[in-house]
Amino acid sequence: MMEIQDIRARARRAETSFGLVVGMSDPYIIDMAYCAGYHFIRIDCEHVLYDYNTLQTFFNAARHLGLPAQIRVPDLHNISAILALEPAAIVLPDVNSRKMALAAIDAVKFPPFGKRGMNGGTRNVRFGPYSREEYMRIGNDRLNLVVQIESREGLEHIDEILSLDGIDMVASGKADLSQALSVPGQKDHPDVIAAENYIVEKAKQHGKILTLSVSDPKRLQELKEKGVHCFSIGRDEDLCLKAIKNQLNKMSKAEKELTE
């Protein structure tokens, strides 16, 4: 089993990390992401209904590869079972108030930050080198809590959200922001970009590390210049579809040229 890198530590060293969003159900995609050179994966349980056995398979595969596996949850329901999988990060969408952020910290972090329960059933306690007390001491540092700001309410309350200890990283959500800003689907609209830039500046003011989704190289460069070092750069279904379509188009073009 390989040592899993801390994406947050990489960002502090100004090292760029690229992540793949996982929405497919075959754990083979974990191996593909690792072989391709991705630095982390983010399993999307907000938009995909995975069963628990599939999630266990995903996390076991990532663990043995030393690949940090984050998970985006739809809410805090059943969070204890998700935490037992020992993800590298919990990503909570649409955090729009201090109350919601505090609830996330309470659920995800051990004391003194939160109120996370501990039953000794996690892998590192059962099979690893840590006692329950040791695991509770290091757990807060190893598990990153990522809050997504993707609404007008979130933007309005961003200072009171990001001022809280226990929040480690901040993400935007440009698709939902575009709807909130009345330009649905226009993720590159100036208003959406301005909102994301505002999130970047607020995160830096509060000492939080940013993790943003980006597909345009120019935008990546802009964000790098603003001090962002952690990026999700695509979703598995989209990238696979693009690759197989490009291959078909390339071969179809070659065949057409031959027959002309």
Taking the chain (260 residues) in consecutive chunks of 10 residues, what is each chunk's mean pLDDT?
71 96 95 97 96 96 95 95 93 98 96 81 61 78 94 98 96 96 96 98 98 97 97 97 97 88
Q: Which value, to the nearest 10 degrees, does the dihedral of the CA atoms of residues 236, 240, 241, 244 take?
A: 180
Whole-number Cα distances in Å, 184 to 64, 113, 148, 156, 173: 40, 37, 18, 20, 12
pLDDT tens digits, 192-238: 999 999 999 999 999 999 999 999 999 999 999 999 999 999 999 99
With beta carbons less than 8 A apart as the criterion, state whether 76 and 92 touch.
yes
With beta carbons less than 8 A apart as the criterion, state whether 139 and 90 touch.
no
Q: Is residue 259 part of a domain?
A: no
Amino acid at 241: L
With beta carbons less than 8 A apart as the criterion, state whether 230 and 212 touch.
yes
In whole angstroms, how large is the CA radius of gyration of the chain?
19
111-117: list long-range contacts, CB under 8 Å, 24+ apart: 111/136, 113/140, 113/165, 113/166, 114/166, 116/80, 116/83, 117/80
Find the helix or strand (DSSP H, E) in which 180 lies. helix 174-180
Q: Is residue 131 part of a domain?
A: yes
190: CATH:
3.20.20.60
Q: Is residue 97 part of a domain?
A: yes
Instruction: State how beta strands 69-72 and 40-44 pair.
Output: parallel
Q: Is residue 260 part of a domain?
A: no
- pLDDT at position 119 is 65
- pLDDT at position 1 is 40
pLDDT tens digits, 57-68: 999 999 999 999
Q: Is residue 92 part of a domain?
A: yes
Our CA angle for 161, 165, 166, nearest 5°, is: 95
Q: Is residue 1 part of a domain?
A: no
DSSP 8-state class, residue 182: T
DSSP 8-state class, residue 187: T
Whole-number Cα distances in Å, 60 to 40, 63, 140, 234: 14, 5, 21, 22
Domain holding 121, by residue range, is: 7-235
Query: How many domains does the chain fold into?
Result: 1
Q: Is residue 162 part of a domain?
A: yes
With beta carbons less than 8 A apart as the criterion, state whether 146 and 168 touch.
yes
List, in order, residues 6 or more apart from 249 with CB less than 8 Å away: none
Q: Is residue 27 part of a domain?
A: yes
Percent of the chain with pLDDT over 90: 82
